Amino acid sequence: MKNNMRYITAILLLFTSLVALAQDGFEKKVFIKDGDSLNYQILLPRNFDKNKQYPLVLFLHGSGERGNDNESQLVHGSKVFLDEGNRAAFPAVVVFPQCPKDSYWANVDVDRSVMPLGFKFNPDAAPTKAMQGVLDLVDGLLAQAFIKKDQIYVAGLSMGGMGTYELLSRKPETFAAAIAICGGGSTSLVQKYALNTPMWVLHGAQDNVVTPQHSLDMVSALLDAGAFPRFTLYENANHNSWDAAFAEPDFLSWLFKHNLSKN
């Protein structure tokens, strides 16, 4: 009962802070539940009206943007959503959480003694503290009446791409579409979400930090599960393949054309 009351309080605080937000740009916020906190920044549509409904986009940053400044997570990707043309064409609530320096979005063991880095994904492990924060934040946002429940999207790059796959496996019926850039994940969990969530997987063929083999493995697993993912391999891109991904002319239109009730 006590935990339920704490969660209800967290939801009420989240709602109160959201409806008071300015609409000029991203705003710093902190989500708190059971004494644990997660920094995030949120962008509301122009002319936001709490009596209307909007899609929700969750964006997960890479490991280089971890910290507690509640700013670094906007380094990559935020300009796509701040673009006035995109804001007009795709009005949505956009959320960029920030992973603490000592945590990771996905539950994975990272071997930094080799390049590309070595990754051992742990499909049966509990969520990291950062991932649990994201799960709770998503639940809090889904409780808001102004969020369209059939248009929830997630995208991420590098560590955030790994977090994208894991988030899909932990909430397999929540997301209408997902984009994973230069990431990877547990192929054994793909069947949980493969047929529910259309995916666009992107990677640089010359990536010497996260080998493109991880994306190839995820695409293969999605195909084996009966899904038809979109896959883009950039011939000349290294790890910063997100630059090419964000420049895709239909980066947002591909995402927003999907609707959970129609997938």
- Read off the DSSP letter of residue 98: -
pLDDT at 24: 81
pTM: 0.93
Mean pLDDT by 10 residues, the chain (263 residues): 54 55 83 95 97 98 98 98 98 98 97 98 98 98 97 98 98 98 98 98 98 98 98 98 98 98 83
Cβ-based neighbours of 97, under 8 Å, separated by 6 or more: 31, 38, 39, 40, 58, 60, 73, 130, 133, 134, 137
Separation between Cα atoms, residue 41 and residue 244, nearest integer Å:
24
Separation between Cα atoms, residue 187 and residue 132, nearest integer Å:
21
Task: Report the run of H or E that residue 93 belongs to, with start and end.
Answer: strand 93-97
Task: Report the run of H or E that residue 163 belongs to, with start and end.
Answer: helix 159-170
pLDDT at 16: 54
Assess contact for 17 and 29: CB atoms under 8 A.
yes
- In angstroms, what is the C-alpha Rg of the chain? 17
Report which of 121, 123, 183 is spatially closest to residue 154, judged by C-alpha positions.
Answer: 183
pLDDT at 263: 82
Helices and strands: H and E segment counts in the chain: 8, 10
Q: Name the token pair of 69.
A: 């400044």
Cα dihedral 135, 136, 139, 144 in deg (nearest 10): -140
- Read off the DSSP letter of residue 127: P
Torsion-angle region of 47 (φ positive above 0: left; ψ -120 to 50: alpha; else: beta): left
Separation between Cα atoms, residue 95 and residue 78, nearest integer Å:
10
